[in-house]
Amino acid sequence: MSKSIARMTIDPQYQLADVDPRLFGSFIEHLGRAVYGGIYEPDHPSADEMGFRQDVLDLVRELQVPIVRYPGGNFVSGYRWEDGVGPLASRPAQLDLAWRSLEPNRVGVNEFVEWAKRANSEVMMAVNLGTRGIDEAKQIVEYCNHPGGSYWSDLRKSHGHEQPHGIKVWCLGNEMDGPWQIGHKTAEEYGRIAEEAAKVMKWVDPSIELVACGSSGSKMPTFPDWERIVLEHTYDHVEYISMHSYYGNRENDLATYLAQSLDMDHFIRSVIATCDYVKAKKRSKKTINISFDEWNVWFHSNEADKQVAPWQVGPPLLEDVYTVEDALVVGCLLITLLRHADRVKMACLAQLVNVIAPIMTENGGVSWKQTIYYPFLHASRYGRGKVMHCSLQSPKYDCKEFTDVPLVESVAVWNQDIGELTIFAVNRSQDGGIELECDIRGFAQASVIEHTVLVHSDLKAANTKEEPQEVIPQHAQGAKVDGGLLFAPLPKLSWNVIRLRV
C-alpha cells in the first residue's frame, strides 16, 4: 500500500497579508459562569483585591489574547451599562432576559477594563442597539473615552477613573437580524440606527473603530441581503462587519464534522463579495474588513441547558466539554481564519472562560485547560507575522455535506522579526498518517525547531477536573529538512505545529 502524501510549496516572495494580532481575540459575555465564577470570584483563594481569579488570569495571559469582546452577545441588547458603574452598594440587580439569569452588576465596564489590563488585553466594547439607541451609545463612549469636563466623563472620574479608558473598538449592537434578539430589527431598521449611532460615537471620539452587525450565521434567511442593506447605510462610518458561526457534531458524523471549516471559508468569501459589491456600488475607495467576533464549536451543552433553573446568578450554562475531535475542528477553523488574514482582521473565539470556552473553572476550586485551548494557544503564539500564499495538493474525500475535502488542511506564517516559519496542519484522515512534503527552497537555511502534535487514540477523550491532562500536546519525531524539502509525518487525526528556523 502506497504512502499518502500531501505536497505544499512555500516561497518567501508569495505573501498574502500581515496577521492582525486581534485575529486571536476572545469574548466574555455576562452569560453563565463566564463572569461570576469565571473571571470574577471574590471569595476564591486566588482572587486579587478586585475579586479577579489569578489562576484564570494566568491561563488567559498564556493564550496572549490581544482583545476581548464585552459585555455581549445577546446580553447587551437588554443591558443598561449605567447599572454597572459607581458604588457597588448602589448597583441594582436586573433580570437578564437574554439568558433568563439574574445580573447583580458586580462587574461593569470599569471593572472589565481593569481585568483586561491585567490580562494584557484590550476591550472590544458592544453598545445596546436593542432596547436603547443613539443617545445611550454616545453617552457610553463619552463616559469611557472623553478626557473630562463633560457630565459623563466627569462621572467616570467620580467613580475613581481619572484617565479615560481609550477603548478603540466598538460593536454596534449584536445579532440584530435574529428573532431571538431583544429589539430585533429588519436590515433597514438596523442600518438606519447603526448609521446614526456610528456618527455620534465618532463625533465624540473620531479615533474609534466601529463594527456593524452582520448576519448571525450563513443559514439566516436574510443572508446576504442583510449585509448589503446594512452596509449601504453604514459604509462610510464603519471599518468592519461582523460574522458569527458555530459548528457541532450532533449526528456523530466525523467526516462531515471535520470538514466544517469549508463552510466557514465559503461564508467568509460570500461576505467579502457582498462588502466589495457595496464598495463598487458606492464608487468607494474604502475597503470594509471582517470582524469574525463569534466562532467556535457549540453543541454539547444544548440539552443540559434546558434543565437549568432560571433567574440565578452565574448559572452553569453552555458548559461544553470539548473532545479531541473538537480540537481538530477548532484547528481547521483557525487555519481558515489565517488564510483570510487579508480581510479578516479581528476574530473572537467565543467564549473564553466556562461558557463554550477553552478555560474551565470550579467555583471555589481549580481551573483547567480544555482540548481546544491548545490549537488556539499555538496559533496565537506562533501565528503572528505574514501569512504565506501556499500551494497545497492533498488527497481528498467526499462526505454528506461536502465534496473534495482535502485530507490535509494547512497554512504557513512567516515571522521575519524572529526568523521563524510556522506550518499549521490538520490531518483529517481516519485511515492513517500522511507525509507532508513541503518545498521550502526559498528559505535556504531552514531547519526544524520542533514539531508539536495533538493526537489521542480516543477522539471523544476530554480534559476534566479529575483528568486535566488527558489530552495535551506532544513532541513529535521525524520532521526534517533535506535538499530544500521539509518532510513531516502527520499522524492520523491530528493537529500539527511545525516550527522552522529560517
419 found inside a domain: no
- How many residues can be counted in the chain? 502
Contact, 347 vs 424, CB < 8 A?
no
Contact, 72 vs 29, CB < 8 A?
yes
Residue with cell 475597503: 287
Eight-class DSSP state of 24: G
Map 337-376 to HEC letters. HHHCCCCEEEEEECCCECCCCCEEECCCCCEEECCCHHHH
Q: For the chain, how many structural domains are there in total?
A: 1
Residue 465 CA to residue 321 CA, distance in Å, equals 11
434-439 and 485-490: which strand pairing?
antiparallel
399 found inside a domain: no
| CATH code: domain of residue 296 | 3.20.20.80
Query: Which pLDDT does position 2 carry in this prediction?
Result: 55
| Model confidence, pTM | 0.97
220 found inside a domain: yes
429 found inside a domain: no
Eight-class DSSP state of 75: G
Burial label for 118, CB within 10 Å (0-12, 13-18, 19+), is middle
Range of the structural domain that residue 292 is part of: 20-246+286-312+341-385
177 found inside a domain: yes
Cis bond before residue 351 (omega within 30° of 0) = yes
Residue 318 CA to residue 28 CA, distance in Å, equals 13
HSE (CB half, 13 Å, CA atoms) of 20?
Answer: 18
**pLDDT digit string (tens) for the chain, length 502 residues:** 457 999 999 999 999 999 999 999 999 999 999 999 999 999 999 999 999 999 999 999 999 999 999 999 999 999 999 999 999 999 999 999 999 999 999 999 999 999 999 999 999 999 999 999 999 999 999 999 999 999 999 999 999 999 999 999 999 999 999 999 999 999 999 999 999 999 999 999 999 999 999 999 999 999 999 999 999 999 999 999 999 999 999 999 999 999 999 999 999 999 999 999 999 999 999 999 999 999 999 999 999 999 999 999 999 999 999 999 999 999 999 999 999 999 999 999 999 999 999 999 999 999 999 999 999 999 999 999 999 999 999 999 999 999 999 999 999 999 999 999 999 999 999 999 999 999 999 998 999 999 999 999 999 999 999 999 999 999 999 999 999 999 999 999 999 999 999 9
Query: Which pLDDT does position 48 carry in this prediction?
Result: 97
162 found inside a domain: yes
446 found inside a domain: no
CA distances from 426 to 113, 263, 478 (A): 36, 16, 17
Single-letter residue type at 208: I
Residue 366 CA to residue 376 CA, distance in Å, equals 21
Cis bond before residue 71 (omega within 30° of 0) = yes
Q: Name residue 406's beta-bridge partners.
A: 396
HSE (CB half, 13 Å, CA atoms) of 162?
Answer: 0
CA angle, 401 as apex, 397 and 405 as ends, to 5°?
A: 25
Query: Which pLDDT does position 1 carry in this prediction?
Result: 42
Contact, 330 vs 9, CB < 8 A?
no
468 found inside a domain: no
Catalytic center residues: 175, 294
CA dihedral over 336, 339, 343, 349, signed as positive or negative: positive
SS3 at position 471 = coil
CA angle, 293 as apex, 321 and 388 as ends, to 5°?
A: 95
Query: Which pLDDT does position 148 carry in this prediction?
Result: 97
Task: List phi, psi (to 5°) of 226.
Answer: -55, -50
The separation between the first and the last C-alpha atoms of the chain, rounded to the nearest angstrom, is 35
CA angle, 78 as apex, 121 and 43 as ends, to 5°?
A: 55
Complete DSSP assignment for 201-236: HHHH-TT-EEEE---S-TTSTTTTHHHHHHHHHHTT
Cα dihedral 369, 371, 375, 378, rounded to 10, equals: 30
Residue-wise pLDDT for 300-322, tens only, equals 999 999 999 999 999 999 999 99
Task: List phi, psi (to 5°) of 125.
Answer: -95, 130
